[in-house]
Amino acid sequence: MKENADKVRALDTAEIHKQMREAQEQMFRLRFQMRMGQMDGLKKFRGLKKERARMLTVLREREMNPDAAAPAAKGKR
């Protein structure tokens, strides 16, 4: 689990927002399919919810601690 959060932390804020929009659209499609009787997407839907929660957590961490918001910039020095 920690490695997934580290992957999200490595992204910049704009990329996280882009991935969140894509996940939200995919969740909408899966939710629609499940309502139509296709239960194939339940596991994927749960995974998307967890990934979205990770992204929101990282964004909140950056909001609370703006000094540590740029881990990529530290590595380039």
Residue 6, domain member (yes or no): yes
Q: Where are the alpha helices (DSSP H) in 1-70?
A: 2-9, 13-35, 42-64
Average pLDDT over residues 57-69: 86
Residue 11, domain member (yes or no): yes
Give the pLDDT of residue 69. 61
Residue 13, domain member (yes or no): yes
- The one-letter amino acid at 75: G
Residue 77, domain member (yes or no): no
Give the residue from 66, 64, 65, 24 showing the smallest Cα distance to 48: 24
Per-residue pLDDT tens over the stretch 18-56 = 999 999 999 999 988 888 887 777 888 899 999 999 999
Number of structural domains in the chain: 1
- CATH of residue 58's domain is 1.10.287
Residue 70, domain member (yes or no): no
Question: Domain span at residue 18?
Answer: 2-63
Give the residue from 19, 3, 1 showing the smallest Cα distance to 59: 19
Per-residue pLDDT tens over the stretch 2-13 = 678 889 889 999
